[in-house]
Structure 1
């Protein structure tokens, strides 16, 4: 059996998994989850993902949820093929985990919060955006990206000379910042902008983004 990803090509977290699979040259199938029909909250789906969220990885009877955990699983299972996204040595692997933790704690909450207010509320008819919250989130995101800009002045990727899981994990919500008209958080910082251009020009992300646009 091949890899199956229960989710949707437009879903940010599904995209996080898809770009890793493509970097590792792993064929996979998207098993569509019908959000409009509430399939992600159905009793059947909750057996796979008890929080009713996507994606869920299915690998020959093994099921795994949470996109970053899936990314690590794919990197470890297919270590010898495709792009190396985490070093095998102890210290190198720890640096990737360090920056993956930074993404979870200091980038995603602010970027995803801005997107939730300015994109998802309108998309899902959830009322007007809280612009004061957006302002507060943007200030925190700016503080994070100021640090990134200093790090990226010294190296092309957050973890050093090679792209890693930690870099790729930023892609889905970073891209959505542009949809939310806050892409200047990235483009106004020269080193962050250059890093972002290196990431988004990768064929694996180009393919993932194109799939999500349809």
Structure 2
């Protein structure tokens, strides 16, 4: 069983849990309390030097960084559960293209918006609304490109769901949950809205959406 060290509500911890669910891989969560700063304790940074969650212990193999963990789990169990990363070279290249799209055209804007609108208020801080507006304006143009891609195919890498699609879920759900103009980013574009409804209702995500 994979031992997952993280915080149940953490976006990155839930991504790893999501992949485990999609691949039918059981995992045991050891909670690291971010509110108490346990991720900065010497015993934790001795394993994860950046003091961030999550990391896994897979029968003695230690790995951190959620994207790397997700790829490792998928490639270790290629014939179990949902494939998520294709094996054909061209299909895998399209997956890597889609993964890059998520990193640089979605996460780069959505994550800081969530940090401003969700995480800052939890710490009693005021969001920088000017920064949010600037990020949102740029994101709108990025989502226009998503709409074009998704008008031609079901998912970002083709007609099969991949890790590239699922990687949008943790931050995307927090972003969409802000409602108003934020939800409209998805809802106002029919193909993007169809895709988002599809991936955000996957049973594996619903199982970990509220906590790994």
Residue 211 of structure 1 corresponds to 211
Alignment deviations for residues 155-197 of structure 1 (CA, whole Å, 9 cap, x no partner): 1100111000100000001101123331221111110100001
Per-residue deviation at 1:124?
1.9
Distance 2:123 2:3 in 1: 27
Gaps of 5+ in 2: none
Give yes or no for the alignment of 1:19 onto 2:46: no
Residue 131 of structure 2 corresponds to 133
Distance 1:94 1:124 in 2: 41
Residue 192 of structure 1 corresponds to 192
Distance 1:20 1:46 in 2: 24
Q: TM-score w.r.t. structure 1 length?
A: 0.95
Give yes or no for the alignment of 1:80 onto 2:74: no
Per-residue deviation at 1:205?
0.6
Give the 5 Å matches for 1:1-214: 2-125=1-124, 127-181=125-179, 182-211=182-211
Distance 1:174 1:37 in 2: 26
Per-residue deviation at 1:211?
3.0
Distance 1:210 1:110 in 2: 22
- The 8 Å contact of residues 119 and 179 in structure 1, kept in 2 or not, is answered as no
Per-residue deviation at 1:32?
0.1
Distance 1:171 1:20 in 2: 11
Distance 1:52 1:211 in 2: 20
> How many matched pairs?
210
Per-residue deviation at 1:4?
1.0
Alignment deviations for residues 107-142 of structure 1 (CA, whole Å, 9 cap, x no partner): 1010011111111001122x2111110011001111
Q: TM-score w.r.t. structure 2 length?
A: 0.96
Distance 2:100 2:143 in 1: 15
Gaps of 5+ in 1: none
